[in-house]
Amino acid sequence: MKYIYIVAGGPERLIPDLTAADHHDVSWVGVDRGVVYLADRGLKMEEAIGDFDSITGREREELESKHKNLKIYPSEKDKTDTELALDWAISKQPERIRIYGATGGRLDHFFANIYLLMKEFDCSIPIELEDRFNFIKLLPPGIQEIKASETYPYLSFVPVASDVEGLTLKGFKYPLENRHIPFGSTLCISNELIHHTGTVSFKSGILMMVRSRDETIIK
């Protein structure tokens, strides 16, 4: 498996066009109601994981008839359905993992999903989170090249869990040079690249990079 893309059960209106991301190198994993989203789009699932408490009885019967290797967990457990799916994906050692359907709705679920991205630093597999308006990834210390994107023109950088030391932003509308960014700071919210590429570098800490675009009317 080269890429594993997980679809969780967040609000469907925030899930981008999954068919555009589908190709022969991608394996799809449905989490709880995410299995319905995948089925509705005609995307073949490698695995279906969760307690499935957010789907109807008819949907569950149809799911069980089509997926003999369905992994059903009890509602009372020590990990969320999305974490169980992410652990399964990590065990397969793909080149990249991306999570959809993990934003919107309950804030506790959203924050839990953000912190799941920390698993990247244990497994050394890039883990990303994406919805219709945002792309989220954690950055370790060092130098990262960032390419401009028409889809997500705005970039924000938020310290995760601790302060960030020595942050330098080059090629940005609002550059920085060797700045200390305390945990909880909003200094680096809503920046933009002014060239095709820019660089982000820092000495210690972890940065959450949020690439985003303004929300338009959703039909």
Say what the pTM is.
0.90
Q: Which two tokens stand for residue 8?
A: 């969780």
pLDDT number for residue 114: 95
Domain topology for 138-212: Jelly Rolls (2.60.120)
- Of 103, 101, 109, 199, which Cα lies nearest the Cα of 157? 199
Locate the domains of the chain by residue range.
3-132, 138-212
Given pLDDT bands bounded at 50, 70 and 90, which one contains residue 53?
A: confident
Q: Between 72 and 17, whose confidence is greater?
A: 17
Query: To which H or E segment does residue 71 belong?
Result: strand 71-72
Residues 105-114 have a mean pLDDT of: 93
Looking at residue 177, its amino acid is: E
Over the chain, what is the mean pLDDT? 91
What 8-state DSSP symbol labels residue 134? Answer: E
pLDDT number for residue 130: 97
pLDDT number for residue 219: 41
Same fold, 3-132 and 138-212: no
Reply yes or no on whether the pLDDT at 62 is more than 50: yes
Reply yes or no on whether the pLDDT at 122 is more than 90: yes
Percent of the chain with pLDDT over 70: 94
CATH (residue range 3-132): 3.40.50.10240
Reply yes or no on whether the pLDDT at 171 is more than 60: yes
Residues 117-123 have a mean pLDDT of: 95
Reply yes or no on whether the pLDDT at 139 is more than 80: yes
Segment 86-97, tens digit of pLDDT: 999 999 999 999
Percent of the chain with pLDDT over 90: 74
Given pLDDT bands bounded at 50, 70 and 90, which one contains residue 218?
A: very low
Neighbour order of strands in the sheet with 45-50: 71-72, 45-50, 26-31, 3-7, 96-100, 127-130, 134-139, 207-212, 154-159, 191-192
Q: Provide the β-strand partners of residue 195.
A: none
What's the rounded Cα separation, in Å, for the pair 130 and 196?
22
